[in-house]
A and B are shown apart, each in its own frame.
Chain A
Amino acid sequence: MPALTPGCGHQYNPPPMIQAERLTRYFNDSAAVRDLSFHVSHGEVMGLLGPNGAGKSTTMKMLTCYLPPSHGSASVDGVPLERSLEVRRRIGYLPENAPTYPDLDVRSHLVFVGRMHGLPRATLQDRIREMSDVCGIRQVLHRRIDELSKGYRQRVGLAAAMLHDPACLILDEPTTGLDPNQIIEIRQLIRRLGERKTVLLSSHVLSEVEAVCDRMMILDRGELRALGTSAELARLSGGGAGMLVRFTGDGQPAMARLAGEDDELEVERSEDGWLIRHPDPDFPLGERVFRAAVDTSCVIVEMRRQQTSLEDVFRRMTSEGEDRA
């Protein structure tokens, strides 16, 4: 690793927190994950999106050293997966469904997890107090885990994953089974955590990833379909520019004129007014619509930009896979 030498003109670039190079995992003969390459920077919240069976959990299991990759390599905080114990020390992992010991009470479970990570007794008590406040489980610390609701169990799992203050959190569907209020709380918590830590979280709920993550990748059938911010993905998927326009009258003359101007413009009548699309996201739709309306003496009462939602991107990206098959 290059040393940081102030004043020498060298800039120190830390290695990414997670770096994966052509990660591949086969189960029997079928590939659950194929040639997956990506990186997650320090302090970044990365979302792993995909339909069921896309390979999200398998990817996480490889990064947490539960399953070795069939091919490819990866490192966490610069440590290759082969140095498994060191990697595991740096990671806080919440597996799918947040497994916990049903026969233990919450405090004993947390004490066990903390001691497994080698936390000294005094630190452990402080961390348990801190994490049970953060995750809102203080009032259930003495309850047996099998008496808790799914939501509480999920929070206990999250508290356990963060107990040893890891630099990197890997969370497999952290909000499954929670009620809407809990989902909002956990999302806020992840957002807060993302200010200090690197988080990789998987979800099949698009709005969640959009709300929480800096960047996201879309997996389908084990392959990376797209990677970027939600705006980049929308652009990448060919979302283009869209606008909804309403006139006092019918607006037909303005729309006919507009449609005649550019072959690539799509104009269609919808329940709310007219829906106009152009494949180029930078196309000056507003200006063209306004001019067409002025030229034909139509009066505009509403003009609204239509964003390509992540749902559209997701559907487009993952249905490509279906077409291919």
Chain B
Amino acid sequence: MEKEQHTHIVKYKTYVFVLIALLLMTFTSVAITSLNLGPYTVSAALLLAGSKSLLVLLIFMHLKFDKKFYSIMVGGVFLLFASVIFITFLDYLYR
């Protein structure tokens, strides 16, 4: 008796494409830094890092193919983290 687990097999090609996208975003963020965009540099770097981590979470970590339950938990943790940052900066900006 074989337990029917993880029926979805991700193709090697998918992973290669994801890696190419990740590398392109890495080089873009390095290139953006050498330009002088002032305060936008940080936002751009964080935006690219955010997109990269989304790709890693969805494809490499299989969130896209797993039960929705996992994605909801991950979303919850990031929401918690975002709220803590928000509250910390409320404190620092308005004290």
A and B: interacting chains: no
